[in-house]
Each structure stands twice: as C-alpha cells, then as structure tokens.
Chain A
Amino acid sequence: MTTFPAVAVTGIGIVTSIGTGRESFWNAILAGHCGFGPVKSFDTRLYDVHIGAEVSDFCPQDYFEDADPATMGRTSQLAIAASRLALRDGSLNLAGIDRNHVGVCVGTTSGEPQYIEKFDDHYMEGRLDRVGREFVNGYPSHLVPFHIAKELELGGEAMMIPTACAAGNYAIAHACDLLRSGKADAMLAGGADSFSRITYTGFARLGAIAPTLCQPFDRNRKGMIPGEGAAMLLLEPTHKAAARGANIYCEIAGYGLSCDAHHMTAAHPEGEGAARAMRLALQQSGIRPEDVNYISAHGTGTPTNDRLETIAVKKAFGEHAYKVPISSVKSMLGHTMGAASAIEAAVCALAITDGRIPPTMHWQDRDSECDLDYVPNTAREHKVRVAMNNAYAFGGNNSSLILTAYSRP
C-alpha cells in the first residue's frame, strides 16, 4: 500500500437538533442533551410513531452572503450553514488560495426530499401543472454540493456521494484522496440530510422507529429515531495547514470501505463486512487495533444493528474490544442519515482535541449480547490518541474512518 501525505482537520461546522456551531454542539453532546420531540415537519396522525429529532430555530439567512436560501432545499441550506461555519472555524482565507483547487464533497441519504414530496402531492391532487422548473433545478442530490460551491465561490471538484447512512464517511474519504493526490489544496467534506416524510414512513413501515427514546446497546432498545442535520469538515494536507499556522484538531489517517453484498436493509449476520471495513481502515492507517482508544459507533438503537455491530467490533479488535470505550451519539441526535457519520467524525475530532468522550444516553440495562463499554449516560475524561468512526448503510455499505491526534513537530 502506498503511503500518502497526512490530511488535517482544520475546521468544523455543524448544525444539529441540540446545537449549531462547534462549541454549542460539543457542550450539548457532553451534557447529554437530546433533540427528540414530536415531529413538526408533517402530520404523523396516521402513523404509530410520532417522534423525531428535527432542527428547530434554524435561520438559513444567517449563513448566506450570496444566494437566496428560498431558491434551494433545506438540505442545501443546512449544508451551506455547516460549510460556512467550517470555513470560519478554520480561518481559511480564500483570498489567498486558488479557488479552483478548493472542492466540496457531501454525503446524503435523501438529497432534497421536499421537492419530490411536493411533486407527489401535485400528482395525487391531479395538479401536475403546478410542477415547474424548480423541480429539476432543486431536487437532484448533486445540487447540494453545487449550491455550496456556488455560495462559497469554490471552483474545485463538487461531488455528491449518496451512500445513505454511511455517506458522510464516504465523502470525507474521497476528499482525503483528492488532497493526498494533490488534486485539491483544501476540501470541505461531510454530510447533510433534512427531515423526510418518505424516510420516516419507510422506517415506520419496517417497525424500526422507537416510540420515545433511542437507547443504543441497551437491552430494551426499541429502535432508531429519524433526525436531520449537517456537518462539514475543513480538510487540508497537514503540511499546508501547519505552514499557514492553522489550528489542527486531528489528522485523518485512513479509511476502510466494504460491501456486505448480502441484504439491502439488514447487515451481514456475522458482522463480516463491517469487521472487514474496520480492518481495512486500520491497515491503511498503519495502526494496530490495540492503539485505538475510542470508537464512535453507528449505534442506531435497533435490536439488530447494535447486536451485529458489537459482533463486528469484537471480530476486528479481539480482546481489546473490551478495553476501548464505544459510544453512540445517535442516543442524543437520533439518526441524521447522511449527516450522521460526518457529525460523528466531528465528534471524534473534538474528543481527540478535548480529551473527553461523549456518552451513550438512556443506557439502563445490560444486554448480554452487547457487553462492551458504551460510556453509559455520562461523558468521560479520556485521552484519545486514535479514534475510529464507524457507519453502515442500506445496500450493505460499510465504512470506518481513523482519526489520530496531531503533534506539532
């Protein structure tokens, strides 16, 4: 395997149901705040569940300097907000850089679902005449990174990787590859998803939504809670970041991607694909399993995911699985779909910098099949030198990202 120049995380921008902006978000996560509440985006009267984790009081105008937020969907608005926050956080002066070498890579599950939902409303009402040019100019998912690039005036690669609930990791991985190969000087990478009635209906149809709480790894866990949000990381080659005196949160040492090729919505019953992604990530990063001292879990809170994820972690880490703390912030944010693994990558970066790791909230009863240290209910001081961020998606897409502490030479 070729070795690549290191990639640094120099800025974090984040919009979630419990806080917007790095500081506000991190304080809320460590305090165990939760973003769950009755769904407001659409009427859930006909559903058996009514809970979601929506971002309330989001004012897109606060983050726009050029475009009118009303000309795009909510996912693009969230993504632009997170991107602008990341740029500000990283103090990157775009005036001093060739903008054609700064790109955007975003992951998503649904893209801009409100446009197709409106299309369907018109269809059902027999009013297709109401569908205008805004549909094709607003719906396709690639418009999210294009809107970001336009708003921030970036001319480098702009790409959407819609690999569902692992998409954030995929986007960050691709951005790292571009930086390492010299095709970009800086990248904004992450994920975004806005609340979708289609996604909600689907998970409700599968019986996968918990009635009141998301309790990853708990014996009585009843499912996931759909949410929304966005996180974007500013990434640069480490030597360039250091040269401009940037604040470096951590480095991204490598990643592993694999495909179960087993089932569309259920993970491989022996956690094979997930374990393989973890091993590939460790190999690519040149890191031994016993060096990992924090894992951000996919931890959706469904009976199956949490059990199989635990099996996979044990496969990849052996006995060390019992020594590395592993927590799921979905216990507080719900499942933010394509944004999730990007938010969780930000969590890893902040954990490394801050020396504290977030809890898995609402953990009450030990499940004999989920017997690792899930950092129950209270954040913990913990020196993190190597963090692993795991995410799994429909289609059997598995991903693991490795983030490591940076020491100035």
Chain B
Amino acid sequence: MKQRVFITGVGLISFLGDSPALFHKKLCDGNKGMGRVTEFEEQGFASQPGGKVEAFLPEVFLKSKALRPLDRSGRLLASAAKLTLENSNWTSQDLAVRDVGLVLGTMFGSMHTISQFDRQALGGGPSCASPLDFANTVINSAAGQTAIWHKLRGINSTIATGATSGLMAIGYATDLIQSGRQTAVLAGGTDEFCFEAFCGLARAGLLCGPDSTAGCSVPFEKRRTGIALAEASALLMLESAESAQTRGAVILGEVLGHSNAYNPRWKQAAHEADAVIRSMRGALEDARLSPQEVDCISAAANGSIPGDRNEALAIKAVFNGHGEKVLITAIKSMIGETLGAGGALQAIDLLETMRDHAVPGIAHLKNVEPEFASLNFCRKPEFIDTRIGLINAVGFDGHACSLLLSGPPAWGNLV
C-alpha cells in the first residue's frame, strides 16, 4: 500500500528573495525581479535578461567563513537546504537521530567548476589544478556538500534529465517515501548561472536575446524569442504521514501523483506535444484524478518558441474542454528559466496559492497564437478556490514531467 507524501517545508534562493510568502506576493504583483546579463558583452553576447542572484551571500545562510570547499552550486543548494530545514522545523537534534535524504535535480551540475578546474590545468599544467575544485567536479557534488553541511545521512541522489530535472527529483523522492524506503527527503534543484551554460544555450539559439522586442522571454506570447537564463535554488521537505505526525509538523500540501515521458521525435509535427500529453495524463492517472478536478496549472512555459506551443497544445488535448476553464499561470515570466530549480519554485508558489488562493498573472502576456487562444491564461492575478494544482516541466529536447499537488488535507486525515 503506497504511503502518502506530504510537504512540510520549503526553501528557496531566487531573484525574488528567499521568503516563500514574499516570493509569491512579488509574483502576484508582477514583479519582474530578474537581473540582466551584461558581463559577457566582450565575448559578443548582448545584454539580456537573466543572470546570477547577485544578492546571494552564502555566509548569511551557512554562518561560516570556511566556505572555500563549496562551489557556487554547493553554496546555493546548502543555503536552500538550511532554509527548508528551518521552514519545516527540522532541528539538528532531529538530524542526529533520523536519516533525512536529499535528491538534487540539476541540468548542468558542477559544469562551471569542472571547466575552471580543466582550464587551471590547461593554463599552468596539471600541478596547478586545485584539489578542492576536483572534489566538486562530480555532477553530484552539490548534493554531497549539502549532505556534509547538514548531516543528511539518508538516500542521497542526483537526477539529470535536462530542464525537467528538478520536478523529476521531487517525483523520485516521492517514490522513495511512497515505497517506504525513506520517511523524510529534501527534494528540488539547483543550477548556478555560469558563462558556460549561458554561452552554450546562446549558441543553441535558445536564449531570448536583447529584449528590445516586445515578446522576448514572455511565456506563450506570440512574439516570444526564447528563454531568459536565470539562477535559483529551491527545495521541498517531503515526509511520510507518520514522520510528519510524530514531529507535529505543519503540512503545507500533499504530492498526489507524478509522471514523465520522452519523445525524441518531438520536432516532427505528429509528435510535438506527445511527451507533454503523456506526462500530464500519466500524472493524472497516478493521482487517480480527472482533468476536471485540476483547478490551476503552473506551466513550464518560459518563452521557448516550440516549448511553449507544445505545452499549450498538450494542455488543450489533455484537458479537452476543461482546458478552456482551468487557469494557467507561468511564473517563469518573472523569474526566468532556472533549470534545476524550476520545478521546486513552481511547487513553492503553488503551495502559497493553496494558502491565499491567489494565482499570479503571466507578466507582459499580450497576444497568444490563435491555435491555443481559447486556453484560460491568467494575465492578471486572480483569486480562485485552488485545491489541486498541476505543475509541468518541459525540456529543450523532448522530455516532459508533470506533478499534481494539493493543499493541506483536513486535520486528522493524514493516513
């Protein structure tokens, strides 16, 4: 019999700060907190939206000067973990007697450190390469560092499926709890903003470019030109009913079901929306829900020309009729595409929506393609009774993941 999986805490580092409630409020206010990437103009990359969370000071969260062993990814993840543990009232005494797991979703992992390490060796010979940096050249290094920092001795895993990694990590962690292998797991993702990722995505034609055009990186916008690559780190604390009850934890929500699919032929007309369709249908089946029971959708849409269209077509197909009613938001309109952190950020915002019933509008959305104009896009914040929400993650390469959440169950009804 599958265990139920509850969310008892959240933590995030983002352009819109590190408070879940303020993060949600700023999204509802249409606050486009993203910075701009200006530092690569010399390399021929025009200034455009996105970039690092410049305000991030790891010392504030990790309260230590001995941070050299951690690279930026490790610092981002360990900081988000600190916030999540605090938010879920998980103390160091608890951690001394319980094994909490950690599942990290990331697209690029420690790519920047890998590249730096390699360039040190290329520049000055292998004897110049830093041993501390080498420890961080494994793709799972942020997860390892975070486990060391916070004494997380449960199952520690890293999931890489591209831009869908974070939501996949939450699904993987959900399965660990459902099957009884773990009773408490931190799950979500991180991808640090770095030149290598920016350059790579730019050369692949995926970035929005300078935002002189009206559409730029606005999700579903007819004149969108691509994504704004941004940085964030976000985690959820997932627990079994027994673990949550024993600790007297506050329940923020419940994971009802999840699924994912891959279609390598997604660029062909007959296959374009297939992975997203199967992903959403699979999640609904896993949760034993019908499309009519979904109150709102937190879309993956990020300004990607094919990606947003495929997702919209998929919503039309899966929700068939109800698609015109279910409210669709897309928070990447304000926080950009944060890769590994995306899924958890969407979950955190959705949980806030469950609390205050406010769904953020898709900032700057004006016109959508006629093909999916009938969908109910949330353009300005709306207040609706949200009990069940669907989150999508869509990759750049034919992969999709979907997850269904509900708000907190009625008190006393956890089993």
Contacts and interface: CB of A to CB of B under 8 A. Distances in A.
B201 A206 contact: no
A160 interface: yes
Interface in A309-361: none
Contacts, number: 220
Interface in A108-134: 108-111, 113, 116-117, 119-121, 123-124, 128-129, 131-133
B69 A135 contact: no
A151 B276 CA distance: 20
Contacts of A128: 43-44, 199
B78 to A, nearest CB: 12
B196 interface: yes
B175 interface: yes
A89 interface: no
Contact of B138 (A2, A164, A276): A164
Interface in A196-239: 197-199, 201-202, 204-206
B115 interface: yes
A395 B165 CA distance: 19
Nearest to B117: A198
A284 B161 CA distance: 28
B262 A124 contact: no
Nearest to A199: B137
A395 B147 contact: yes
A116 B118 contact: yes
B214 interface: no
A250 interface: no
A111 B115 CA distance: 14
Given A120-B118, A162-B139, A395-B141, A258 B154 contact: yes
B204 A205 contact: no
A263 to B, nearest CB: 7
Contact of B200 (A109, A136, A261, A393): A136
B155 A163 contact: no
B205 interface: yes
A177 B201 contact: no
Interface residues of B, number: 76
Given A136-B206, A395-B143, A146 B264 contact: yes
Given A124-B122, A133-B205, A170-B157, A202 B117 contact: yes
B204 A136 contact: yes
Contacts of A204: 126
A378 B175 CA distance: 43
B255 interface: no
A131 B139 contact: no
Interface string B361-405: 000000000000000000000000000000000001111000000
Contact of A124 (B43, B119, B135, B261): B119
Contact of B125 (A46, A131, A141, A198): A46
Given A116-B111, A136-B200, A141 B134 contact: no
Contacts of B117: 198, 201-202
Contacts of A205: 126-127, 129-131, 134
Interface of A: 1-2, 4, 46-47, 100, 108-111, 113, 116-117, 119-121, 123-124, 128-129, 131-133, 135-137, 139-143, 146, 149-150, 155-164, 170, 174, 177, 180-181, 197-199, 201-202, 204-206, 257-265, 273, 276, 284, 393-397
24 contacts: A1-B180, A109-B138, A116-B114, A116-B196, A120-B115, A120-B119, A133-B204, A136-B204, A140-B107, A140-B162, A142-B161, A160-B161, A162-B138, A162-B160, A180-B179, A181-B179, A198-B114, A206-B131, A258-B153, A258-B155, A259-B154, A260-B147, A261-B148, A264-B141
Chain A to chain B: the 6 pairs with minimum beta-carbon distance, closest first: A395-B144, A150-B264, A202-B134, A162-B139, A259-B156, A136-B200
Interface of B: 1, 43-44, 69, 99, 101-102, 107-109, 111, 114-115, 117-119, 121-123, 125-127, 129-131, 134-141, 143-145, 147-148, 150-162, 165, 168, 172, 175, 179-181, 196, 199-201, 203-206, 260-264, 278, 396-399
